[in-house]
Amino acid sequence: MQLIIFIGLQGAGKSTFYKERFIDTHIRLNGDMLKTAHREKLLFGACLDSKTPTVIDKTNPTRDVRADYIRLAKAHHFKVIAYYFDVPFDVALANNNGRHGKAKTPEVGLKSVAKVLTRPDFDEGFDKIFVVKNIGGDFEVQEYVCDLTN
């Protein structure tokens, strides 16, 4: 049983990465799809109760935002894995600017997430941490086996 938490700016490639790597194996929880925190909470609870592998596909920029997901998943005996999308701001902004309609986030939204975005750390409760780089549309993934701040 896995809970995967994506961490990164809007436009970093999180949803595309999900579609490439996890669409056949994990349920995707995404605020854009579910529209309300209440719906997300209900579906997340159902995923935990049914032992369903799940991906939280949101920016999840801070330890506080990630803490409840981790705590609840651990209480249900899930392995918790972070995927940190290490994408430069200008690349995320360019990707975001290529979006249309509601899929496009205002630049101020990206800037506000960039200001608070913190790398995941094992002391948050993650069992594994991966760093994802989006290089020309191709994803390069590297597992970290030590604290990312070292």
Q: Which domain holds residue 40?
A: 2-144
The answer to whether residue 134 is domain-embedded is yes
pLDDT at 135: 79
Region 115-138: mean pLDDT is: 93
The answer to whether residue 126 is domain-embedded is yes
Question: How many domains in the chain?
Answer: 1
**Nearest Cα to 28, choosing from 36, 18, 38?**
18
Q: What residues form DSSP beta bridges with 84?
A: 7, 131
The answer to whether residue 90 is domain-embedded is yes
The answer to whether residue 77 is domain-embedded is yes
pLDDT at 149: 54
The answer to whether residue 95 is domain-embedded is yes
CATH code, 52 = 3.40.50.300
The answer to whether residue 150 is domain-embedded is no
- pLDDT one-digit tens code per residue, 72-116: 999 999 999 999 999 999 888 888 777 767 776 766 777 999 999
What does the alpha-carbon distance between residue 66 and residue 93 come to, in Å, rounded to a whole number?
23
The answer to whether residue 149 is domain-embedded is no
- pLDDT one-digit tens code per residue, 47-58: 999 999 999 999
Whether this prediction's pTM lies above 0.95 is answered by: no
What does the alpha-carbon distance between residue 4 and residue 80 come to, in Å, rounded to a whole number?
6
The answer to whether residue 15 is domain-embedded is yes
